[in-house]
Amino acid sequence: MRPDEIALLLELLDRAYNRQSWHGPNLRGSIRRVDPATAAWRPGPGRRNIWEHVVHAAYWKYAVRRRLLGEKRGSFPLTGSNWFARPVTATAKAWAADVALLDGNHRALRAAIAGLRPADLRRTAPRSKVTNLALIGGIVAHDVYHAGQIQLLKRLAARRV
């Protein structure tokens, strides 16, 4: 792959996360102006809320970065993996902290991708079944997927009585 392909992947990552895109709200845009009560609202017992989608997305940005760089597990600041029960406390400070966790993991992932050589994209990380290119494409799709879920949850939350 050519060096401009790394730039293209970064552009796609950013469009899915926080840059304007044709498909509507990206992940970061989908949580703009979401208050803690809306973020914590559940559409039903045992269903995920917006807050949990945000932390889940942060975790997978961390996981992809870790795989790209060959790092060991265990450095995510929350205990567990994949889905995290949220909120612990539904305060503006706690919500802002988890949004900052998402932002920080996006920046770290972006830096990891920017540091790759084009040849690294075709490599498969140890204990991985897919190439680095597939990992990056997957995390881009993951952001857009969860942005759509959050948009739906916001509409449902607005209809609650």
2, pLDDT greater than 70: no
Residue 85 DSSP SS3: coil
CATH code where residue 60 lies: 1.20.120.450
Q: For residue 112, what are its two tokens? A: 């990891």
- 160: pLDDT confidence band, cut at 50, 70 and 90? confident
- CB-based contact 98:51 (threshold 8 Å): yes
> Which candidate, 112, 58, 105, places its Cα nearest to that of 81?
58
24, pLDDT greater than 90: no
pLDDT digits (tens, 9 = 90+) for 7-18: 999 999 999 999
1, pLDDT greater than 60: no
Domain that holds residue 18: 3-158
Number of domains observed in the structure of the chain: 1
Give DSSP secondary structure letters for 8-29.
HHHHHHHHHHTS--TTS--HHH
- CB-based contact 132:124 (threshold 8 Å): yes
> Which candidate, 28, 35, 41, 39, places its Cα nearest to that of 110?
28
